[in-house]
Amino acid sequence: MISKTRVPRIPWISVLVAVLAALAAALVAPGTAAHAAGTGGGTVRHGLSQPDYSYADAIREAVWVDTGLDGDGDGRGDRVAVDIVRPAEPAKAGRKVPVIMDASPYYSCCGRGNESQVKTYDAAGNIVQAPLFYDNYFVPRGYATVLVDLAGTDRSDGCVDVGGPSDVQSAKAVVDWLNGRAKGYSARTGGNGVKATWTNGAVGMIGKSWDGTIANGVAATGVAGLKTIVPISSISSWYDYYFHQGAPLQDGPEWLSDYVESDSAHAACAAEQQKIIDGSPRTGDWTPFWTARDYVKDAGKVRASVFAVQGMQDLNVRTKNFGQWWQALSAQGVERKVWLSQTGHVDPFDYRRSAWVPTLQRWFDHYLLGVDNGIQREPMADIERAVDHWTTDPAWPAPATRDTALTLGATGTDGLGTLGARPAAAGAESFTDDPDLWEEDWAAAADTATPEKTVFTTGVLAKDLRISGGGTVTVTASSSTTSAHLSAVLVDLGPETIRDYLGGGEGITTLDTRSCYGAATAGDSPCFLDTAADTETVDHNVFSRGWADLGHYRSLAHGVPLTPGKPCTMTIQLAATDHVVPAGHRLALIVAGTDGGLILPPDTTPRVTVDLARSVVRLPLVGGAASLRTTPAGSTPRGLSARRPAAPAPSFAGAADLG
């Protein structure tokens, strides 16, 4: 219906003046500029959230959320401690804000970040120092930061179960509370009910290592309200942290739970600790314990977008965890992005800080504030191709990647063979397990026949060869004893300068200077020690690896003793990577036994024979088989005169600390 009511005519100049005045006010008045539609979050100008809110005046509070569990068996529901820092201005104006959440077991035992920051509190029990920069940077931009002590750690009830239902539920319950589906209280026991009336329920989880692992686990529950996760060097299946296809990688998970549990949990969680020991035998068998800690199988439930970050030389949380999670998410069409660095177990804040912070801001602005800043349309993958030199790809693995079969051949010299696309030929190579040696020893002697390994190499490459993704090595092998562990290692033979991922900083060195990201209070500085790349020049570079227990050739469910001399066929999964072997270098595959310091040895010392005609390597080559071109036989490999000293194998004690 058209109204016939007369509307007084207003001079157009008056309208223009009014519009200009309103626009000017929006541009200059803090806290009054346009907000992202429907979010009620931070102030957004020029496609970015702006630091318009006071960090000094932010609301700091603690809430204990009921998880619905009683892991410590005290007859009361477990409550997990939730420390909150949120801007005061939106709350006063009735606007609701999104949440950036980091759920961790490390807030009191070990600390977070390169400077091992822990939570500190005032006399009232409210947080003073929140580790890392998230609160300093994002609270002024209209986000709340929420730091959760996982069950059994710091100020939380319950027991640590190392990535299991209790760990995941203790974080999921907080997402539920933020969305009005769980109960929160003002105290660990008793207290008043507390509701999260200040948030719109949009949550992004972030964290490195165990923290990011919990983000994966919570996302795999499909919980409503979790809009995005940013897992950094994180586990997707806990079996694959402790074993690799039956081969034990480190001591059992009970060590890790004992390491992070609070004193009260130590006293109350003996029964849960025994469940962990009983459920995770060192046989390498897949048990129900591992099924409960496998998030990959539930990738179909993931509703959140995923920004994954992984060090390709991470020997703590190995890239198999990233690769299988990424592949599962890809199959489900999850919105995703990835950064792959040349570091080990390192946060991107400490190797690419000036790019990481604004990228993370734009990611959260888009998925939590609803800002259409285009980040979801930008290249999917950032890859550190050389030290501090990054390239991008529209998708990952790289477009034009093809699963390419390569065969193993003999050369007439025992222990030295060929790797190429030629048809398989009859032959065999043998090695004797030596647990005192590891991949660096093998690679340093790649052109020398030694009894503990066999090496298969291409000719000198005529053009760059890019491997993008995770490959496999299928071997048909027989053991002289009833047990055998296998290692398969890809090596770039040729000179290059790389990050020293085997050094103490795993590819970074910490400087004396600081740079600041965000606002400060007397108890929480936004200024962090700067870092620089820690590099070394090498003549070989191990860039992917995989291990297996040959006794699990039939199934991961149950390993069997080997029949000496009887051939078994097993496919070893190689860690996901993205590496270019330059023209003038050679690609090598080393097949050996115990990779000392990275896997534990078998209970015998076998001699293993590999049937070359019944073995095959499948690599994700960009451009497929046509990309593997070599120069004529007899060409001299580039720069193989100086050998990289073989570094000592990493200790299991260090690797067992996830942080």
Catalytic residue set = 209, 314, 345
- Distance between CA 326 and CA 339 in Å, rounded? 12
- Distance between CA 169 and CA 390 in Å, rounded? 37
CB distance 553 to 568 below 8 Å: yes
Buried-state track 151-171, b at ≥16 Cβ within 10 A, e below 16: bbbbbbbbbbbbbbbbbbbbb
- Distance between CA 260 and CA 280 in Å, rounded? 18
Q: Can you tell me whether residue 354 is helix, strand or coil?
A: helix
- Distance between CA 409 and CA 431 in Å, rounded? 16
- Distance between CA 65 and CA 88 in Å, rounded? 22
Q: Closest Cα partner for 612 from 420, 326, 346, 359?
A: 420
CB distance 210 to 104 below 8 Å: yes
Backbone angles phi, psi at 90, to 5 degrees: -60, -40
- Which residue type sits at 150? L
CB distance 59 to 69 below 8 Å: no
DSSP E strand boundaries for 503-606: 508-516, 527-533, 535-549, 568-573, 577-581, 586-592
CB distance 58 to 85 below 8 Å: yes
Peptide bond into 165 cis (omega under 30): no
CB distance 178 to 103 below 8 Å: no
* HEC secondary structure over 169-197: HHHHHHHHHHCCCCCEECCCCCCCEECCC
